[in-house]
Amino acid sequence: MGINEHIEFAILTTEISKASFGLTPSEYKKLKGLKNENLRDHMTDLELIFSMLGEASTSEIERTRNTETFNEHKKASKDGGTIAKNARLELEQKTKQNVITGENYLKEPEKKKWIGIK
């Protein structure tokens, strides 16, 4: 992966995140109080699921649209992220709880993570 590919991948990842969560990965890391740590390692299960839904939706959209140009990939990233956003918002409406959280998953005691204690 060359420098342009790396930068373009980062841009597309940011587009999915912005569409899914309304936050760039940098903003999300700041919300969780992270510096150089991997954001995914600090996400809750639901945050990971909606992140993965945005990525998987983007991949499927790209496959079916036969995207080739960067702008086509960018549009697919926004569309895939929007699918995750819509699902996230529906869950938040039903549960009256935010999926997006400043909680830092790795800082929770291990027992709480596995049995879902809040």
Residues 84-101 pLDDT 10s:
999 999 999 999 999 999
Q: Which residues contact 35 (CB under 8 A, 6 or more apart)?
A: 29
For the chain, which residues make up each domain, given as ranges?
3-115
pLDDT at 83 (0 to 100): 98
Residue 79 pLDDT > 80: yes
Distance CA 118, CA 116 (A): 6
Task: Pull the structure tokens for residue 75.
Answer: 């549009």
Tell me how far the alpha carbon of residue 5 is from its chain's centroid. 20
pLDDT at 109 (0 to 100): 47
Distance CA 114, CA 106 (A): 12
Q: What confidence category does residue 6 fall into, taking pLDDT thresholds of 50, 70 and 90? A: confident
